[in-house]
Amino acid sequence: EKAPGHLDARADDFDKQIDAALRDGDGAALQNLDADLGRELWCHDVPALQALGAAATGSVEAQVHYADDPFGVQY
């Protein structure tokens, strides 16, 4: 727990939110990601995901080819 970036209990739900939004092509869910929480969890891509959400208007088909956390970090 003293190591930088130690396991944070909030990370699993945050990762699941991102995964579901991407799989569903849900632009609104991407736009509504909590940027402050993302920074706390070292997810520095939240602004890019929010921009993607803003660009994803209407019906969007999406595929996630890989989603796993083999080393304790979601890829």
Structure tokens at 7: 């396991």
Higher pLDDT, 29 or 5: 29
What distance in Å separates the CA atoms of residue 4 and residue 29, rounded to the nearest whole number? 29
pLDDT digits (tens, 9 = 90+) for 35-69: 999 999 999 999 999 999 999 877 788 889 999 98
| Listed residue (53, 27, 47, 20) closest to 35, CA to CA | 47
DSSP the chain: --STT---TTHHHHHHHHHHHHHHT-HHHHHTS-HHHHHHTT-TTHHHHHHHHHH--SS----------TTSS--
Cα separation of 46 and 42, whole Å? 10
pTM of the model: 0.85
